[in-house]
Amino acid sequence: MNDKSAQDAIELEAKDLPAYCPNPRMPLWSGHPRVYLDLAHGEASCPYCGTRYRLAPGTVVAGH
């Protein structure tokens, strides 16, 4: 991952999980169908809009 993509990613903490896009901070006009993101590897991109999400350092993802 290059520095620019790292800066452009939305950083999420455990309280923000499960992760989905569009996220609550996005304006309504930019909406698309909600898609849940798999952050098990620490990073994911929305297949609709390309928004990048990553886990904050030290965040642990608990599975079922």
What is the per-residue pLDDT for 11?
96
Element (H, E) at 44: strand 43-45
Query: 34-41: long-range contacts (C-beta < 8 A, 24 or more apart)?
Result: 39/12
The answer to whether position 11 is within a domain reads yes
Tell me the residue range of the domain where 12 lies: 3-55
Contact 53, 39 (CB under 8 A): yes
Is residue 13 a part of any domain in this protein?
A: yes
Residue 25 domain-assigned (yes or no): yes
Record the pTM. 0.77
Each residue's pLDDT tens digit, 3-62: 444 468 999 999 999 999 998 888 887 789 999 999 988 999 999 999 999 999 988 777
SS3 content of the chain, % helix, strand, coil (to 5): 20, 20, 60
Residue 62 belongs to a domain: no
- The domain total for the chain is 1
Confidence of residue 2 (pLDDT cuts 50, 70, 90): very low
Q: Is residue 48 part of a domain?
A: yes
